[in-house]
């Protein structure tokens, strides 16, 4: 009976152009049926949702094709804080639900082999040591319309090059004195091929190799060789590396590489109203525009995790945006839609009032206390229920009352009848107002005891259903509401600094919330639906006397239309 259902769930994943290439490789036996990918982050910042796309692609493909995916840190650019970044990246990949098993690598593991391949290029006349300054190298490189000029050092003999290169390694020369360059073609229409730099001198400490190296290999040189050494079959990278592909191939064609992986480029993820670039995110963190790397407004994986995003929602999102060759901008609404779908399934429903005002039920006995059984989930009885105390004095949402109600107002207003969720129908009989401030200080009503449970047996209908908490039992809490981080869809585009477009209202702290008493046992990391208000995740800033909740997402899309899958 269950068979058709299972079949549906296990239907083949969508065939994007990369999976189509792999299908074809498997058909022709190009790699002997092997599929081996890698995710190669540079440990210079925290991962963001763009990286999630790459992680889901690389690890996802390995999973689907019964292959392997390595985690490799591209640590060719020594900098100080790499250890913190390495740890966070590992945590984020695991959190997304992927495993590199025992295949955790560092490009720095290959420094000696990379060096030996460089000597090979030198002895075969394919690389030379150049004494031009960085500035001259740039000037000699030419432009898109003009060919480059050959360096006067280009025709050094292999012997001289080898001697100089060995002395570079030994630390004889200061930073910037010399570089090792590939000898390719200064007139190539592809500027990347105009004798690119392979090694530069840097007298700096490296987080893994310490002081062992005084020269460091460039990314383009390191990346392809690392792929080949690891037996990678398909090296998936973002579109900006398209021009570098001929160099990737040139290096592997000119050294005795163990294999020659295929580089395939795909379009990066761009998300509206945020920035997906470590360099930009670092600025926001370092300059204090946000509270840290895991500020729930940031698109970092630790940020969205703290906000309440689940790995399931992110994987679903990556699935839906798919893989293509064309640059595109994805609407944040799609990301939020994926989260709502996931949390709708798993989040317990509870009641919290963000901006409370007292509702006094005049005809409800003063010392009476009822416990009403509230199911945690309308469609999932297995989630159970909890008793919610109901008393004469409740808190309801200030916004749910209107002194002079407009047409189609279905909530509280003088004379209006509404339903208190799972409790009773109440009719508003009056309100108290602070004569000075004009603020409503209490709302009065009467309940209909015949509507217990929130249903009327005489068929009388009310349109509004309000959430509430018992004033004597509710616990105070802080709630943090978030809006988009930027006011411009593409803040990084255009001549102005992207930070000019930071949204000053991206965080609203509501210190006054009152939550139902069952939440006393909630722990940081727990996610709930606060009825009518959205999904909220308990934050690590919580204290026993003041729980803090981050709104992960509102219940309805307040952004644009959701892009269809
Ligand atoms: P950033 O601009 O954030 O510094 P990066 O490309 O320099 O990004 P890396 O650490 O080198 O960051 O990225 C590791 C992998 O993740 C690379 O293969 C890169 O192509 C991929 N990646 C980075 N950003 C995105 C994105 N927005 N969409 C898809 N893939 C991405
Ligand atoms: Mg990079």
> How much distance in Å is there from the Cα of 339 to the middle of ligand 2?
28
Domain ranges of the chain: 17-268, 271-349+477-553, 352-467
Say whether 181 sits in a helix, a strand or coil: strand
Please state, in angstroms and rounded to a whole number, the distance separating the CA atoms of residues 252 and 259: 8
How much is the pLDDT for 13? 57
Nearest ligand by distance to the CA of 52 = 1
Residue nearest ligand 1's atom 2 by CA:
277
CB 277 near ligand 1, within 6 Å: yes
Q: How far is the CA of 489 from the centre of ligand 2 (A)?
A: 23
Q: Atom of ligand 1 at shortest distance to CA of 53? A: 29
Residue 495 CA to ligand 1 centre (angstroms): 23
Any atom of ligand 1 within 6 Å of the Cβ of 276 = yes
Asked whether 278 lines ligand 1 (CB < 6 A), one says yes
Neighbour-count burial of 398, counting CB atoms closer than 10 A to its CB (0-12 exposed, 13-18 middle, 19+ buried): middle
User: How far is the centre of ligand 1, averaged over its atoms, from the C-alpha of 437 (Å)?
Assistant: 53
Q: What residues are labeled active site?
A: 42, 268, 278
> What is the predicted pLDDT for the residue at 557?
66
Nearest ligand 1 atom, CA 281: 3
Q: What CATH number does the domain located at 352-467 have?
A: 2.40.240.10
**3-class DSSP assignment, residue 338:** helix
Atom of ligand 1 nearest to the CA of 270: 27
What's the pLDDT score for residue 9? 40
Distance (Å, rounded) from C-alpha 106 to C-alpha 94?
17
User: In the CATH scheme, what is the code of domain 17-268?
Assistant: 3.40.50.620
Please report which helix (H) or strand (E) contains residue 130, including its range.
strand 127-130
Residue 401, pLDDT score: 98
Render the burial of 528-565: b for 16+ CB within 10 Å, e for the rest: bbbbbbbbbbbbeebeeeebbbbbbbbeebebeebeee
CA distance 367 to 210: 72
Question: 0.85 cut: is pTM over it?
Answer: yes
Q: Is the CB of 53 under 6 A from ligand 1?
A: yes
Our answer on whether the CB atom of 40 is closer than 6 Å to any ligand 1 atom is yes
Q: Which atom of ligand 1 is nearest to the CA of 238?
A: 20
CB 269 within 8 A of CB 50: yes
Write the CATH number of the domain with boundaries 271-349+477-553: 1.10.1160.10
pLDDT in tens, the chain (565 residues): 333 333 334 445 568 999 999 999 999 999 999 999 999 999 999 999 999 999 999 999 999 999 999 999 999 988 766 889 999 999 999 999 999 999 999 999 999 999 999 999 999 999 999 999 999 999 999 999 999 999 999 999 999 999 999 999 999 999 999 999 999 999 999 999 999 999 999 999 999 999 999 999 999 999 999 999 999 999 999 999 999 999 999 999 999 999 999 999 999 999 999 999 999 999 999 999 999 999 999 999 999 999 999 999 999 999 999 999 998 899 999 999 999 999 999 999 999 999 999 999 999 999 999 999 999 999 999 999 999 999 999 999 999 999 999 999 999 999 999 999 999 999 999 999 999 999 999 999 999 999 999 999 998 999 999 999 999 999 999 999 999 999 999 999 999 999 999 999 999 999 999 999 999 999 999 999 999 999 999 999 999 999 999 999 999 865 443 333 3
Could you tell me how many residues make up the chain?
565
Give the span between the Cα atoms of 337 and 340, in whole angstroms.
Answer: 5
DSSP state of 124: T
How many whole angstroms from 26 Cα to the centroid of ligand 1? 27
Task: Verify whether ligand 1 is closer than 6 Å to residue 280 (CB atom).
Answer: no
């Amino acid at each position: 009976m269950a068979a058709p259902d299972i079949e549906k769930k296990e239907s083949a994943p969508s065939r994007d152009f990369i999976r189509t290439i792999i299908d074809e490789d498997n058909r022709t036996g190009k790699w002997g049926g092997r599929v081996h990918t890698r995710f190669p982050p540079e440990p210079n910042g925290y991962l963001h949702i763009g990286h999630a796309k790459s992680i889901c692609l690389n690890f996802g493909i390995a999973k689907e094709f019964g292959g392997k995916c390595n985690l490799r840190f591209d640590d060719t650019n020594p900098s100080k804080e790499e250890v913190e970044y390495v740890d966070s990246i590992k945590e984020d990949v695991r959190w997304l639900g992927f495993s590199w098993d025992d295949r955790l690598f560092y490009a720095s593991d290959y420094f000696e082999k990379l060096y030996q391949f460089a000597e090979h290029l030198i002895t075969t006349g394919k690389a030379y040591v150049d004494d031009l300054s960085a500035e001259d190298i740039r000037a000699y490189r030419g432009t898109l319309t003009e060919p480059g000029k050959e360096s006067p050092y280009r025709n050094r003999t292999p012997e001289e090059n080898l001697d100089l290169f060995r002395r570079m390694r030994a630390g004889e020369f200061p930073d910037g004195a010399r570089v090792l360059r590939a000898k390719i073609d200064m007139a190539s229409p592809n500027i990347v091929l105009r004798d690119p730099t392979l090694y530069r001198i840097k007298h700096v400490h490296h987080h893994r190799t310490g002081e062992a190296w005084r020269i460091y290999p460039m990314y383009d040189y390191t990346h392809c060789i690392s792929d080949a050494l690891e037996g990678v079959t398909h090296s998936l990278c973002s579109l900006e590396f398209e021009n570098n592909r001929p160099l990737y191939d040139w290096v592997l064609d000119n050294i005795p590489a163990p294999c020659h992986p295929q580089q395939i480029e795909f379009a990066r993820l761009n998300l509206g109203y945020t920035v997906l670039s470590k360099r930009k995110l670092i600025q926001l963190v370092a300059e204090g525009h946000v509270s840290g790397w895991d500020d729930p407004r940031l698109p970092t994986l630790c940020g969205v995790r703290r906000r309440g995003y689940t790995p399931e929602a992110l994987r679903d999102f990556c699935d839906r945006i798919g893989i293509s060759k064309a640059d595109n901008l994805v609407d944040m609404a799609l990301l939020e839609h994926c989260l709502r779908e996931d949390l709708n399934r798993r989040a317990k429903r509870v009641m919290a009032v963000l901006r409370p005002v007292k509702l006094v039920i005049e005809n409800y006995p003063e010392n009476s206390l009822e416990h009403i059984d509230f199911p945690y989930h309308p469609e999932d009885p297995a989630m159970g229920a909890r008793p919610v105390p109901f008393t004469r004095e409740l808190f309801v949402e200030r916004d749910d009352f209107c002194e002079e109600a407009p047409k189609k107002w279905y909530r509280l207003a003088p004379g209006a009848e509404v339903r208190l969720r799972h409790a009773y129908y109440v009719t508003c009989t009056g309100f108290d107002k602070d004569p000075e401030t004009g603020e409503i200080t209490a709302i009065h009503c009467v309940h209909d005891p015949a509507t217990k449970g929130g249903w009327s047996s005489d068929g009388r209908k009310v349109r509004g259903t309000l959430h509430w908490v018992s004033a004597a039992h509710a616990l105070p809490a802080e709630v943090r509401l978030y809006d988009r981080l930027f006011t411009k869809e593409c803040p990084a585009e255009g001549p102005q600094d992207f930070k000019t477009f930071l949204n000053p209202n991206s965080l609203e702290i509501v210190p006054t919330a009152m939550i139902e008493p069952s939440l006393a046992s909630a722990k940081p990391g727990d996610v709930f639906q606060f009825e009518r208000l959205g999904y909220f995740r308990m934050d690590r800033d919580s204290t026993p006397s003041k729980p803090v909740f981050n709104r992960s997402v509102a219940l309805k899309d307040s952004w644009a239309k959701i892009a269809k899958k």
